[in-house]
Structure 1
Amino acid sequence: MQGDPVRVILDTADTCDIDTIVMGNRGLSNLGGIVIGSVSHKVSYSAKCHVITVRQ
């Protein structure tokens, strides 16, 4: 799929009726995630399902 990664992940989760999304994280703080625009940060705040973030 092409497009904004956050939108693609959220749309796929909705379409496929996903219960939980598991994502990697580079270890940015909440502030760093907001400023830089971390995909995992945006998904965790926008998803309708549970999101598990795993530190790399």
Structure 2
Amino acid sequence: MLLVSAMAVALLTLLGAAAEDAGLDRMLEANTVTRRTHSLFNQGLYFYGALPMMKDH
């Protein structure tokens, strides 16, 4: 069970890093901030929940 949890955390962190590389993290930040405001894990959680509503492109 611990292994499954560790793999889920790793995959959500990777999803957050991929979203940040694609520039999708800009919609989570205030427009006056230039540094990361949410951890990669929290960004991964947000974008995992938003996957069904995202456009294909």
Fold shared per TM-score above 0.5: no
Q: TM-score, normalised by structure 1?
A: 0.31
Answer with 1 or 2: which has the greater Rg: 2
Higher percent of residues as helix: 2
Q: TM-score, normalised by structure 2?
A: 0.30
